[in-house]
Structure 1
Amino acid sequence: MANDPRAEHFWMPFTANRQFKASPRLLEGAEGMYYTDTAGRQVLDGTAGLWCCNAGHGRREITEAVSRQIARMDFAPTFQMGHPLPFELAERLARISPEGLNRVFFTNSGSESADTALKVALAYQRAIGQGSRTRLIGRELAYHGVGFGGISVGGMGNNRKAFGSSLLPGIDHLPHTLDLKRNAFTRGLPEHGVELADELERLVTLHGAENIAAVIVEPMSGSAGVILPPQGYLQRLREITKKHGILLIFDEVITGFGRVGEAFAAQRWGVTPDILTCAKGLTNGAVPMGAVFVSEQIHEAFMHGPESTIEFFHGYTYSGHPVACAAALATQEIYQRENLFQKAIELEDYWQDALFSLQGLPNVTDIRTVGLVAGIQFAPHAESVGRRGYEVFRQCFEDGLLARASGDTIALSPALIVERAHIDAMVERLADAIRKAA
């Protein structure tokens, strides 16, 4: 592809296009825990694709389900029409969702799930007669997709600064929970930082609870570099939001479907929000799809007025797409049959021990792990922030490991089918890459 004029037509997302096209990294096959690149090399997938292929690659059951469905019916509308699969899938998902979150609205991505959740929150407050509640609160270093709603409540500067004058009004942010001074090299959830949740009380005092619709947070911030919630932090947010009648939204696009153990982080950490978003692992990354879970109470608030009235003027052409539903149903069957939601708990100690063996390597300033996810943070290069992280990422790929770079943090999030030998190989290759990039 290098110097190939055909490469110029694809404007790549979240990519340094000129840098990539001068030295491309191309994948053309995938099976189990491995990709195959265009040179025929086997590349160990340390990121489950992009946090999404939780059951591993090339699952025959998903392939066959998609093939059968697209041959039978490629598309059916869900505006004033329907087909059986989204009803079946919603019921299936309600079995594994946090207790009470048993109404499901389908989207096509995590970005759409985030924007949908924000719209549900605003419309719900209006439906119950609290229309003054229009303010939304996100968190610094948060990622909630790339819709205008998501980047408005999100807190990653590079995702916002080019669109600053067009972001949603009435947004505020909680402080992030990354505290290297007190929590560096903590295994599992950090001990310090629960008091950061109390900043919500300050925002309530500033803006008035009667003006705040919802707070949205990732239980674990993935895209910002695996930032974990301090012990008791999520519980404290839940207490404050309930106290003031504010909805709590969990963005579980990354943590959903077993990443930190259990089906969702809400269950692993014992905190049930009012609204929960997901995508990625819903279909094992095979077909784009997302979903928003809401409580029955929220759903019922919309079910008033004449029965012929549309209750919520929102949706997508592909909401509940039949092929996506087929992929999701097959994926959920794999998760259940292979008990994959427990793998992150069963392997957590081994995973942590392996990753913490990297402590002391050149430029490593922190290691954060929980479930089957890890963030390894590096001291920034003197020339530019993010350069060292990119160099480690690039070296990993040359050594046969796909990792994920977020600034100067390398993230790992392997498929839940990972075995100890795969973990050993990941850590060995990452260690070599760190030394070579020093």
Structure 2
Amino acid sequence: MTAPLRSNNLEAFWMPFTANRQFKQQPRLLVGAKDMHYTSADGRQILDATAGLWCCNAGHGRQKIVEAVSNQVAELDYAPAFQMGHPKAFELAARLANMLPAPLDHVFFTNSGSESVDTALKIALAYQRARGKGTKYRLLGRERGYHGVGFGGISVGGISGNRKTFGTMLTGVDHIRHTHDIERNAFSRGVPEYGVEFAEELERVIALHDASNIAALIIEPVAGSTGVLIPPKGYLKRIREICDKHDILLIFDEVITGFGRVGTPFAFDYFDVMPDLVTVAKGITSGVVPMGAVFAAKHIYDTFMDAPENTIELFHGYTYSGHPLACAAALATLDVYEEEGLLTRAADLASYWEDGLHAMKGLPHVIDIRNLGLIGAIELEPIPGAPTKRAFSAFLKAYENNLMIRTTGDIIAMSPPLIVEKSHIDQIFETLTRVLKSID
């Protein structure tokens, strides 16, 4: 006997990363999306300045992607990935590998950025053991880093709100300091001048634990969810040198920066620093179907393949690894990126975006502005005794004015779809200027 149908009072859905009680009193419901805009439940067109959650890089409702997913679900809705396969998973892996420079040449599919991070951490630990260095079990992250919400991700992550209520998490984890230096680098345009010396913090932590015990360091090339922290000049190259010196794997978390966000296909291209493992998600399908991946260097993959031929080399995977719908969406998304030049389009618009963003210097409460490619952040002075309130007020006011932004702490973060036009950029900053002038 089925339960009686209940009215939709919004109560049943426990929303993620949301002030549930506040939202359900004044819900912000989206009912449609096309190109650069969402449609709200009350019929307004909301300009998307955040690419959803950093993920809709090709914009919304792209017909080629819609048709690919529709055709795929009719042809093959699901195929197991354990001891079985389907053609599109191999096609997608090969296509991604062809996009990547050597030595990155293998792809492990996941379903989200969080799963990609946990997968990369497990690959790093298993790799050290497979090559006879099982004492290398420690993992390093960075303060203010965001690496998803799995226990691995929050352990190596460095955002206190994501960690403080979940116990001891993984053991054997330590962190280096973040790169934020507002006193020296406030209102930097692009990559900040000061702070390469922050990389030396890695040497201090290695000395504390000894390199023989450290498997990997994971960092975001650009720390996104914590408020867009751009690495100082030379910082990432120095991090790579230290990892090489001490035989430590370097993992780049490119869940946000991957697929064109900074004006190159990946941030490691922009900074000319080659990691050993790369985590991606979000833009791989332009947010249409959940999917993630880990790119692995040849020497890592080959080490696992030294096992007996009939044995499973890595005891890890997901029911939906390389899901047919996700693969179809990803292949169509890559087509759109290629046909429209979206993986490098941010470079063409970066200076216009930068000028519009930095024109807000001097507005009330603005204490810093940061940018790279089509990413931007405006840091606001917190209200004494009420941290996050000022930025959240700006978020609500922007939505009332048909603009979707994102806030983290007292920082406004923006990352529009890569199809954004200069007229959209003008509208974003004109609206945001009015908003910042109107809030306390």
Shared fold by TM > 0.5?
yes
For residues 90 and 5 of structure 1, do their structure 2 counterparts lie closer, same or farther at Cα, with a shift above 3 Å needed? Answer: closer
1:106 paired with 2:109, answer: yes
Q: Which residue of structure 1 lines up, in the alignment, with residue 160 of structure 2?
A: 157
Aligned equivalents of 2:370, 2:102: Cα separation in 1: 29
Aligned equivalents of 1:108, 1:208: Cα separation in 2: 34
Aligned equivalents of 2:158, 2:308: Cα separation in 1: 40
Q: Which residue of structure 1 lines up, in the alignment, with residue 3 of structure 2?
A: none
Aligned equivalents of 2:38, 2:240: Cα separation in 1: 40
Over 3 Å off, 4+ runs:
none
Aligned residues of 1:241 and 1:248 also touching (Cα < 8 A) = yes
Aligned residues of 1:98 and 1:264 also touching (Cα < 8 A) = no
Aligned residues of 1:284 and 1:331 also touching (Cα < 8 A) = yes
Q: How many equivalent pairs are there?
A: 434
Aligned equivalents of 2:320, 2:262: Cα separation in 1: 29
- Aligned-residue offset at 1:262: 1.1
Q: Which residue of structure 2 lines up, in the alignment, with residue 180 of structure 1?
A: 182
Aligned equivalents of 2:288, 2:253: Cα separation in 1: 21
Aligned equivalents of 1:301, 1:39: Cα separation in 2: 56
Aligned equivalents of 2:8, 2:106: Cα separation in 1: 48
Q: Which residue of structure 2 lines up, in the alignment, with residue 132 of structure 1?
A: 135
Q: What SS does the aligned partner of 2:251 have?
A: strand
- Identify which of 204, 207, 215 aligns with 2:206: 204
- Identify which of 329, 336, 353 aligns with 1:334: 336
1:144 paired with 2:147, answer: yes
Mean Cα deviation higher: 342-351 or 113-122: 342-351
Q: What SS does the aligned partner of 1:291 have?
A: strand
Q: Which residue of structure 1 lines up, in the alignment, with residue 383 of structure 2?
A: 381
CA-to-aligned-CA distance 1:347-374 (integer Å, 9 cap, x gap): 1111000000100000000000010000
Aligned equivalents of 1:327, 1:279: Cα separation in 2: 12
1:356 paired with 2:358, answer: yes
Q: Which residue of structure 1 lines up, in the alignment, with residue 412 of structure 2?
A: 410
Aligned residues of 1:54 and 1:284 also touching (Cα < 8 A) = yes
Q: What SS does the aligned partner of 2:31 have?
A: strand
Aligned equivalents of 2:102, 2:261: Cα separation in 1: 19
Aligned equivalents of 1:28, 1:283: Cα separation in 2: 20
Aligned equivalents of 1:8, 1:251: Cα separation in 2: 35
- Aligned-residue offset at 1:99: 2.8
Q: What SS does the aligned partner of 1:163 have?
A: coil
After TM superposition, list the pairs within 5 Å mapping 1:256-267 onto structure 2.
256-267=258-269
- Identify which of 314, 337, 360 aligns with 2:316: 314
- Identify which of 24, 43, 47 aligns with 2:46: 43
After TM superposition, list the pairs within 5 Å mapping 1:69-88 onto structure 2.
69-88=72-91
Q: Which residue of structure 2 lines up, in the alignment, with residue 230 of structure 1?
A: 232
Aligned residues of 1:136 and 1:213 also touching (Cα < 8 A) = yes
Q: What SS does the aligned partner of 1:89 have?
A: helix
Q: Which residue of structure 2 lines up, in the alignment, with residue 253 of structure 1?
A: 255
Aligned equivalents of 2:333, 2:183: Cα separation in 1: 41
CA-to-aligned-CA distance 1:369-428 (integer Å, 9 cap, x gap): 010000100000123110001001111100010000101000010000011000000000
Aligned residues of 1:153 and 1:173 also touching (Cα < 8 A) = yes
Aligned equivalents of 1:274, 1:280: Cα separation in 2: 20
1:427 paired with 2:432, answer: no
CA-to-aligned-CA distance 1:191-219 (integer Å, 9 cap, x gap): 11110111111111111100000000000
Aligned equivalents of 1:203, 1:48: Cα separation in 2: 36
Give the TM-score, by structure 2 length: 0.98
CA-to-aligned-CA distance 1:110-167 (integer Å, 9 cap, x gap): 00000000000000000110000000000000000000000000000000000132x1
1:216 paired with 2:218, answer: yes
- Identify which of 286, 301, 304 aligns with 1:302: 304
Letter of the 1:288 counterpart: P
Aligned residues of 1:97 and 1:263 also touching (Cα < 8 A) = no
Q: Which residue of structure 1 lines up, in the alignment, with residue 173 of structure 2?
A: 171
Letter of the 1:201 counterpart: E
Letter of the 1:111 counterpart: S
Aligned equivalents of 2:80, 2:121: Cα separation in 1: 24
Aligned equivalents of 1:25, 1:283: Cα separation in 2: 25
Q: Which residue of structure 1 lines up, in the alignment, with residue 26 of structure 2?
A: 23
Q: Which residue of structure 2 lines up, in the alignment, with residue 288 of structure 1?
A: 290
- Aligned-residue offset at 1:343: 1.0
Aligned equivalents of 1:359, 1:240: Cα separation in 2: 37
Q: What SS does the aligned partner of 1:230 have?
A: coil
Q: Which residue of structure 1 lines up, in the alignment, with residue 392 of structure 2?
A: 390
Q: Structure 2 regions of 5+ residues with no counterpart?
A: 1-6
Q: Which residue of structure 2 lines up, in the alignment, with residue 8 of structure 1?
A: 11
Aligned equivalents of 1:99, 1:378: Cα separation in 2: 41
- Aligned-residue offset at 1:5: 6.0
Aligned equivalents of 1:356, 1:398: Cα separation in 2: 23
Aligned equivalents of 2:308, 2:143: Cα separation in 1: 42
Letter of the 1:36 counterpart: T
Aligned equivalents of 1:227, 1:24: Cα separation in 2: 31
Q: Which residue of structure 1 lines up, in the alignment, with residue 4 of structure 2?
A: none
Aligned residues of 1:48 and 1:413 also touching (Cα < 8 A) = yes
Aligned equivalents of 1:328, 1:334: Cα separation in 2: 10
Q: Which residue of structure 1 lines up, in the alignment, with residue 93 of structure 2?
A: 90
